[in-house]
Amino acid sequence: MNSTPRASLLWTRRDAISLEYFQLYEAPNEIRLSGTILVAHDGQPLRVEYVVNCDRDWSTRSVRIALADGSGSREMRLLVDDQRRWWSEGKELTEVAGCVDVDISLSPSTNTLPIRRLSLTQGEERDVVAAWVRFPDLAIERLPQRYVRTGDSQYRYSSGGGAFTADIEVDDLGLVVRYPPLWERVGLG
């Protein structure tokens, strides 16, 4: 894969103490998202490093998440096969079978996956189900989501049947600029 990132940026959380350094890489046969998140989660410091590899249609193929906190460090590796079965440590994760996208709960980066893959036109909407990774326990579960393109660079995102909604602004690459009330981009390189 090309070692020069297509984009590098910095996000900050507005509702918690958190900062994320993110890079997007694109190659002829692969897309990679990588990030480092520093967050105070329930008053405890966490460092999360992740890499998400996708194919050219922005479908998740593998995920590596490394988490360090006061009790030590642990890692999660996920593989997705051609039948959309998810695997971790050689075991199939049947609860997320059929999911196309991963959703890393501490990062806005993974919203880019369905935004780019779906290529919605203005006014169009689509339901997806993501494999949602929660922290600090690295639990994974199904999360129904809906994306509605409401403008040139705006999307209405909802999850949990509308229990959570946000109006997301993205740039030309589909990367989050603003995701109120949670994230805002504060640096771009």
pTM of the complete model:
0.95
CA–CA separation, 101 vs 118, rounded Å?
11
| Number of domains observed in the structure of the chain | 1
Helix (H), strand (E), coil (C) string for 137-182: CCEEEEEEEEEEECCCCEEEEEEHHHCEEEEEEECCCCCEEEECCC
> Does residue 1 fall inside a structural domain?
no
pLDDT tier for residue 6 given thresholds of 50, 70 and 90: very high
> Does residue 89 fall inside a structural domain?
yes
> Does residue 2 fall inside a structural domain?
no
> Does residue 102 fall inside a structural domain?
yes
CA–CA separation, 40 vs 72, rounded Å?
15
| pLDDT, average across residues 28-36 | 96
CA atoms within 13 Å, Cβ hemisphere of 182:
17
Q: Domain of 24?
A: 7-188
pLDDT digits (tens, 9 = 90+) for 111-138: 999 999 999 999 999 999 999 999 999 9
Integer-rounded Cα Rg, in Å, for the chain is 16
How far, in Å, are 63, 181, 184 from residue 14 at the CA level?
Answer: 26, 6, 7
